[in-house]
Structure 1
Amino acid sequence: MVEAQRLSFIRANQKLIRCDILNGLQEAVNRGETDPSLIGRRIVLLASFTGGTRYMFNNCQDVMAICKKFGYPDLFITITCNVNWSEIRDFVLPKGLSPSDRPNIVCRVFKMKLDEMMTDLKKNDFFGKTINGIKLNNRSVVPYNPRLLMRYQAHVNKKYCNKTNSIKYLFKYVNKGPDRATLKISNNSAQCDKETIIDEIKRYYDCRYLSPCEVAWRIFAFDIHHR
């Protein structure tokens, strides 16, 4: 409902967000259109709306610019929440609940663990000093780090990163949902005389999946991406 209210406000205030500058030829070119009559009217979903297409695209462009300036990242690390963390179980079990009953607690504990990990990696010299001249073998490519696993008691995957493929992964999804598809059958000849309306908000809504943890994360206004 929080997200629906925000999208409703954006839809009702298209003039206030200066969407007219996004309804021009550049947008038509981006879609691959060659007929000016097909430009139609566009309902714009702002780049400031978290999770929208423009939001993801702008963040991806920023990351590519950072990589161009400073080079590719060194490590690509993913961490998955463990619902058996003592902080979660100590809260829900005395109340006769399960972690799935309190996604808000799961999200807050995961955020604490994530902040702690970032502190370890950025300030506490977690991996120690870099030593030159180490001979690498097949063991070096296994995404396994016992120190991280023991410290955070969760699934932690660590890989060496040296190309853009893994960076694009960041903007494919953040919270995973099920595979989904939508199909629409229409008579184009009957609609050829009607004005084409490109509704970015409807595109965002179509087959939209929200998990309870993502809902809680967004309501708490926790950051989705950092730079």
Structure 2
Amino acid sequence: MIQTIPTLYPESDGQPMADNTQQFQWIARLKGGFEFVTAHDPLAFVAGDLLWYPVQGQPQTRLAPDVLVVFGRPKGHRGSYKQWEEDNIAPQVVVEILSPGNTVIEMSRKQGFYERYGVDEYYLYDPTLNEAEGWLREAGGLRRIESMDGWTSPRLGVRFAFVEGSFTVFGPDGRAFEDYETILAARNSAEARATAEHERAERLAAKLRELGIEPE
């Protein structure tokens, strides 16, 4: 009896997640921001550097977008995104962050892949040149967005803009995406201010009691 050898779908392509710290910082910022804006939706899956296999039986047909978003699929951990196991739903939004090692041929191949396999929104940002591009699916293909400055993602509701020359992504609530250390620093600062205000109030109350006045 001839045994069928199962098709293997590796969970790693042997490539690093990022080529430098700036690229990694943007990947982490966008993945975290997208997870935050879709937190209310149990059927919104967000991942970074996850291999996407769009066709069963073709493990060589794959890409690992820097960030991907899939609406219609539950949150949770995955070793890779096998589309046929996910109700055949392709990622609707993908983002690539350029590094100096990326070539024009490589990026052209990626865009062709995303166009062929059903991505609705494709965004590309080059942090070295501070340039952003985007493509939106229209009439069966990806069409270039005229300007990313002020563009709002139809799927995510996030807005891309250049603020004082810096590329910035805003959530639907109007707040800019920030790195965890920035958020943590702001929280610590707010807690320090609250503590200082409480201590000041306690000192004032103590002085009033010394004068025979009971503070309210």
Q: Normalised by the shorter chain, which TM-score bucket? A: under 0.3
Provide TM-score, normalisation by structure 1: 0.19
Highest RCO, 1 vs 2 (Cα 8 Å, sep ≥ 6): 1
Q: Of Structure 1 and Structure 2, which has the larger fraction of its residues in helix?
A: 1
